[in-house]
Amino acid sequence: MVELFPAGFAEESRGEAVELVAFTDEAGVRRMEETFGEVGTAAVLSGWEDEWRRFHVPVLVGSLWVGPPWAEPAPGLTPVVIDPGRAFGTGGHATTRLCLELLHELERGSFVDVGCGSGVLAIAAAKLGFGPVVALDLDEAAVEAARRNAALTAVELEVRRLDALAKPVPAADIALANLDLATVMDLAPRLASRHAVTSGYYESEPVTLAGFRHLERRCRDSWAADLFVRE
């Protein structure tokens, strides 16, 4: 979807399915049909630029407020500002929320986010007091988005473009990977961390990480996130 709609798209959960939504023209519809087959369309009125914003509403998880630049957090909340754009992760997806819940419980220490997308989880970790924080992604658009969002939230991150399945992953006290299940399991032997937080898969999918012992699982809207400790 990033390649089809570099200006951004939205995800909405439908049970165990995920609906992808993009505001586009007829050429965009044809691109979607060529990629996905049958797609649903609906006409939108003028002013769709503002309508697009309704998909990006603030999310509250513990002390954290995760929201777009045009919204304002209530006093007393810790803001994580995420500009919706070319990289996955605005805080609204169940996997992001579950990871944020687990981060609240962990002892603070160094942190690496493998597959950082927009940087939302790495930025949240920095705001919660983890550090130093390293954010990694193979996609250059994600690297740019994470740097931009870190600047919007006024936190310091080391953001790198890295293929974590081919090159060494930096050592850290906590490693986080909110990716698909196969990638998460392939990453496990490459992680040099005491704890691992993983997500990006369904509640119905069992997860084992080589070299780690399972501590906790949390679920929301059929998605799951897990906490592991080094054996």
Q: Name every residue whose Cβ is closer than 8 Å to that of residue 16 and which is 6 or more positions away in sequence.
A: 202, 204, 222
Question: 3 — alpha (psi -120 to 50), left (phi > 0) or beta?
Answer: alpha
Give yes or no for residue 99 having a pLDDT over 60: yes
Fold of 56-230: Rossmann fold (3.40.50)
For the chain, which residues make up each domain, given as ranges?
10-53, 56-230
Q: What angle do the packed helices 94-105 and 120-128 form, to 10 degrees?
A: 20
Evaluate if pTM is beyond 0.75. yes
- Judge whether 89 and 118 are in contact, CB under 8 Å: yes
Q: Averaged over 55-81, what is the pLDDT? A: 90
Mean pLDDT lowest among 18-22, 31-35, 72-76, 111-115: 18-22
pLDDT in tens, 40-59: 777 765 665 566 566 678 99
Give yes or no for residue 16 having a pLDDT over 50: yes
